[in-house]
Amino acid sequence: MSVKTPETGFRARLQQLARRTAVFAIALTLACVASPGAVSAAETPPADDEQSVELYVSAGLRGTIAPGSSTSALLSVRNRTDSELTAGRVRVEIGTTPLVDDEAVSTWFDDEEAAGEFTTLGTEGTEPIDAGESSTATVFVPETTIGELSPGIYPLRAELTGATTGGPTADDEVARDTTATSVLVVAATSASLVGVLVPITATPADGALLTTDELAALTAPEGSLTAQLDGVAGTTAVLAIDPSIPAAIRVLGTAAPEQATEWLARLDELPNARFALQFGDADAAVQAQAQLPELLQPLTFAPFLDPANFPLAPATDPPATATAGTTEPTPAPSDAPPLPDDEELTAVDGALPRILWPRAAVSPDDLAAFAGYLGEGTTTIVSSSTVGGQSAARAEVDGHDLLVTDAAASAALSDAAAEADPAARQRLLAESAARIFLAEARAPGAPLLLGLEREETRAPDALREAISAADSIGFDLGALRETAPAAATISVEPDTTGVEHVANLLADEQALGAFSSILADPQVLLSPERIRILRTLAVSTPPEAFTPSVEAHRALTTATLGAVSIPPSSTIQLLSANADLPIRVRNDLPWPVTVQLTASPTDPRLEVKPLVETVVQANSTLTVKVPVSARVGSGEVDLRLALHSPTGVLIQGDQIMRVAVRADWETIGLGVLGTLVVLLISFGVLRTVRRKRREAAEAADVESAAALDAAALEAAEPKDGRGE
């Protein structure tokens, strides 16, 4: 049996946008010296309000060089105007005073402000660039120019001058001077082990499980899930996998798209360490703050399973035979297919146990609740911003084990992994290198952990390059959990506004539980609903969108609770003392429902059958006949209607229907009808008598004429014995 989505709701969230694609590609090795050349990018010229010229600069390998070495600065100029950009000149400069902390790095990238003097690394001319095209140039920087720079983070700046766009006259020309910033990190080979956590998630359009069509699209060669595996393949990234993805594939059995089953097999074969997120990537922190006795889990996947998609496996063992002397018969083999249980459907092969990755802000009480949920040895992944900026990857708070991701480096690396434009990505990779450099400086030699943000639309090249810029061969998450932790304290207060939201969602779920008693199998409604609640609590939901998401979900729940009802009707005319009142019952759910229609008059002058049970088919309206009897000749009576489930749960409250009784019209009608019948009968008898009389007269006339004819004939005949 398959689960359908009600027409009245359960649209929790739209599917996230299709992953961004690069608008142009740059085929160039950063460490090589190349001559300037134009690289076209088939871009559509922008609208008038988007006229701009963009400049990007990067140096070294993802922004990093070894001390005392030479490098090359790569320049990329993009003409986003609707006219040609003339030739210009680019100057590349480097600051001689290193940026010493995260605040200085942020100030440089955000405001282009840095202390100290700048030294020119070189200049290079640029070629004319057509509208919507781009060009690259390279400035070689010898080791004599930067070889004396000590390890550190140095601001890098490029400036384009002399290039213009516009018409042939000077009055039409627009100067397109622009600048670009980045950093150059001078660093020796890192002695620290750096690990990158990569969440593997996918959100369905309706909030429950991914559908067959969604899985086919996501696991296609250009699909988002395929891109995520392509990005982590060949890296040592640690995978944080949402169990709803393998569950969505496995519940389909043989009906799963071939590429989806291949994707799951490929995931299982990857050597990367992994752990399971909570189902739907639900946030454990908000559940702990709501003081739930245990983490929310899916109720059952039975409504999603179709036995036809799980054929019986061929028997490999001979059937058992009865043992001599036994009286119990040998059980007959079952014809039912072996359906997988919930644990099999949600299993993440090779997952490390007892790891939670909630939202950043948690409290010591939350950590204690997590230990109660998962047991002794539970590890919680938190951001360094939660523990006062501490960068040590392993920490402990009040005896609770933590894995700490560096907040600044994780954010920069997440931006780089999500950037499809290679030129823009180099700037973000350089910032990531700077943040990692500072994090390693805060805890020399200690393992460093970075966590990418939840993002489902990364390009594989961007994800792979970001991971490769950070992770270290040999990083072992399991071994990290066994290292000695550093002492830490929680330095933030968690936002507890979600507590009320959780309570409201669970209250609504309880109301749906009572409502579902009108269904033959309540789980077809309740099982998807629980999954949608988990997705509403997802870590990926931005804080500013959490409240609107909950409100939208509750609105859909309200619509579902109103999907079975008695539509309002106009006054019904009752023209006889005994009749059947037609009452409509609407069912907008995609499943048949069994309801009890109760009717009670507000006036004893009308007798009504108090209870009528009926089945209303899916997405239909049924007219129910309710027998009534009127004790008066005429008058208006209100009829109070309600719907209940077979177990007595109120589905719809009192609905008032006005009945206009005109029972005396029946007597008048019968009198008129009787008179008409008498008149018709009398008229018929009269016609019959007249017809009989007419027929008798006609017969007498015929007999008289026949007698006259006979007499005349007799008179004309001659007498016997007479001659003429």
- Domain of 626, CATH number, reads 2.60.40.1710
Are 696 and 621 members of one domain? Answer: no
CA pair distance 20, 25, nearest whole angstrom: 14
pTM, entire model: 0.80
Are 579 and 629 members of one domain? Answer: yes
Which amino acid is it at 12? A
Tell me if 389 sits within 8 A of 406, measured CB to CB: no
pLDDT tops 70 at residue 1: no
pLDDT in tens, 129-184: 999 999 999 999 998 888 889 999 999 999 999 999 986 665 678 899 999 999 99
Query: Between the CA atoms of 322, 325, 328 and 331, what dihedral angle is there, to the nearest 10 degrees?
Result: 0
pLDDT in tens, 605-616: 778 888 999 999
Are 701 and 638 members of one domain? Answer: no
- The pLDDT value given to residue 452: 96
Provide the residue range defining the domain that includes 138.
Answer: 37-186
- Between CA 130 and CA 138, with CA 136 as vertex, the angle to 5 degrees is 150
314 torsion bin: left (phi>0), alpha (psi -120 to 50), beta (else): beta
Average pLDDT value for residue range 284-308: 95
Q: Where are the beta strands (DSSP E) in 149-207?
A: 152-161, 164-165, 174-175, 178-186, 194-200
Are 646 and 703 members of one domain? Answer: no
> Which segment of 123-132, 199-208, 303-312, 693-702 scores lowest on mean pLDDT?
693-702
* β-sheet bridge partners, residue 10: none
Are 631 and 698 members of one domain? Answer: no
Average pLDDT value for residue range 586-597: 96
Instruction: Decide: residue 323, CB within 10 A, 0-12 exposed, 13-18 middle, 19+ buried.
Output: exposed
In a domain, 680, yes or no: yes
Are 175 and 43 members of one domain? Answer: yes
pLDDT tops 80 at residue 92: yes
CA pair distance 382, 393, nearest whole angstrom: 10
Three-state secondary-structure class, residue 338: coil
Are 151 and 71 members of one domain? Answer: yes
Beta strand 634-644 pairing with 37-39: unpaired
- The pLDDT value given to residue 168: 63
Are 696 and 573 members of one domain? Answer: no
CA pair distance 260, 212, nearest whole angstrom: 9
Are 177 and 69 members of one domain? Answer: yes
Query: Between the CA atoms of 79, 107, 432 and 421, what dihedral angle is there, to the nearest 10 degrees?
Result: -10
In a domain, 705, yes or no: yes
Average pLDDT value for residue range 239-258: 97
Are 89 and 59 members of one domain? Answer: yes
Single residue among 622, 637, 662 that ends a domain in this structure = 662
In a domain, 657, yes or no: yes
Place of tokens 């009528």: 612
pLDDT in tens, 310-329: 987 554 444 444 444 444 54
Nearest CA among 665, 666, 659, 670 for reference residue 605: 659
- The pLDDT value given to residue 31: 32
> Which segment of 138-147, 182-191, 675-684 scores lowest on mean pLDDT?
675-684
* β-sheet bridge partners, residue 371: none
CA pair distance 578, 574, nearest whole angstrom: 9
DSSP letter at 254? G
Give me the CATH number covering residue 160.
Answer: 2.60.40.10
Are 603 and 687 members of one domain? Answer: no
In a domain, 359, yes or no: no
* β-sheet bridge partners, residue 282: 538
Place of tokens 């249980």: 341
> Any residues with CB less than 8 A from the CB of 503 and at least 6 apart, and which?
290
In a domain, 649, yes or no: yes
Single residue among 127, 160, 186 that ends a domain in this structure = 186
Single residue among 139, 161, 186 that ends a domain in this structure = 186
pLDDT-above-70 percentage for the chain = 85
pLDDT band for 724, please (50, 70, 90 cuts).
very low
Angle between helices 422-442 and 460-468 (to 10 degrees): 30
CA pair distance 265, 268, nearest whole angstrom: 5
pLDDT tops 70 at residue 2: no
In a domain, 176, yes or no: yes
pLDDT-above-90 percentage for the chain = 62
Neighbours of 675 (CB within 10 A): 10
Number of domains in the chain: 3
In a domain, 270, yes or no: no
Are 702 and 599 members of one domain? Answer: no
Tell me if 202 sits within 8 A of 6, measured CB to CB: no
pLDDT in tens, 392-414: 899 999 999 999 999 999 999 99
In a domain, 654, yes or no: yes
